[in-house]
Amino acid sequence: MFPALSEVVRAVNRGHARGEASFNIKVRSILCTLVGLNQALDVLNLSQMFQNDGVVGIDMASPADSSEHSECH
């Protein structure tokens, strides 16, 4: 896994914590990656690593030019 990715999630969580305290709200993250990228598995692992620390899901999107979904465009 890329250590920099976990640092990004930690930084986002710190920002969420400040916002929650300032505005009396609850904030959670959904991690996003593109299907087919080498980082997709790392992002999936990150979502598991932070599942009890602010991450509630993962979005694995297809590229906009994916022929697999061309009928949707």
- 67 falls in which pLDDT band (50, 70, 90)? low
Residues contacting residue 2 through CB under 8 Å, at least 6 positions apart: 39, 42
Give the total number of structural domains in the chain. 1
In the chain, the largest separation of any two C-alpha atoms, in whole Å, equals: 45
- Asked, for residue 66, whether it belongs to a domain, the answer is no
pLDDT on residue 32: 93
Q: Residue 27: is its pLDDT beyond 50? A: yes
Q: Which domain holds residue 41?
A: 3-55
Q: Residue 2: is its pLDDT beyond 90? A: no
- Asked, for residue 41, whether it belongs to a domain, the answer is yes
Q: Residue 70: is its pLDDT beyond 50? A: no
- Asked, for residue 9, whether it belongs to a domain, the answer is yes
- Asked, for residue 39, whether it belongs to a domain, the answer is yes
pLDDT on residue 39: 82
Residues 60/66/70/73 CA torsion (nearest 10 deg) = 70
- Asked, for residue 18, whether it belongs to a domain, the answer is yes
